[in-house]
Amino acid sequence: MSHVLNVIGAQFPDVHTTLATREEEAFGIAAGLYLGGARPTVMLQSSGLGNSLNALTSLLIPYQIPVLIVISMRGDEGEWNAAQVPMGRAIRPILDSMGIPHLTSDTADATADVVRLVGQTAFATRLPGACLLSRRLTAPPKVTT
């Protein structure tokens, strides 16, 4: 995710980024941006979905405020930190239980299409949608022989 932020900062001056102090706050800011006519994206690590649930379930979903959510996965294959695993395993059932659609990208080639499709669907249907970027994509394991 830091790489994505660096590229946006260096190559896409028309994309404005704001760093929040926690993920729930980012969803609140994104909702305000949408009310003002912008098309916001919230980027977070999977561990941050846990403290975003009240914003999603009592603001974005009932008010039909769409946001593109890009989630950098932790706790999936290749993880080294046991504390990341429980939310990594739970994140898809949590999104499903809230009715938030999600697609996973495992490869760089597929990522642009996944992000575009989820974003188009979110803003067309006024429902937040999530792209999950797997650890195989964001932190490819070193192959040992």
Partner 1 sequence: MTRLEASRALVAALGDEPIVASLGHPAYDLFAAGDRRANFYTWGSMGLASSLGLGLALARPALRVFVVDGDGSLLMNLGSLATIASTKPPNLVLIVWDNEEYGTTGGQATATAHGADLDAAARAMGIHATVTVRTEEGLRAAIVRARVDAGPWVIVAKVQESAPAVKPPLDCVFIKQRFMAAIGSAEPATRGTHQ
How many residues of this chain interact with partner 1, rule: CB under 8 A? 34
Rounded distance between C-alpha atoms, residue 117 and residue 119, angstroms: 5
Q: How far is the CB of 30 from partner 1 (least distance, A)?
A: 6
Written as six digits, the tokens of 104 are 């996973």
Residue window 42-61: x/- pattern of binding to partner 1, with contact defined by CB under 8 A: ------------xx-xxx--
Q: Please give the residues from 97 up to 126 whose contact with partner 1 meets the rule CB under 8 A.
A: 120, 124-126
71-95 burial, b for 16+ CB within 10 Å, e for fewer? bbbbbbeeeeeeebeebbeebeebb
Given candidates 3, 13, 14, 36, which one binds partner 1 under the rule CB under 8 A?
36
Q: Quick count: other Cβ atoms within 10 Å of Cβ 68?
A: 22
- DSSP assignment, residue 141? P
Nearer to partner 1, 26 or 130 (CB): 26
13 part of the interface to partner 1, by CB under 8 A? no
22 part of the interface to partner 1, by CB under 8 A? yes
The residue assigned the tokens 């979110």 is 122
Helices (H), the chain: 2-11, 23-35, 53-55, 85-98, 108-125, 135-138
Q: Which stretch binds partner 1 (CB under 8 A): 24-32, 80-88, 91-99, 132-140?
A: 24-32
Q: Applying CB under 8 A, which residues contact partner 1?
A: 16, 18-22, 24-25, 27-38, 40, 54-55, 57-59, 62-65, 120, 124-126
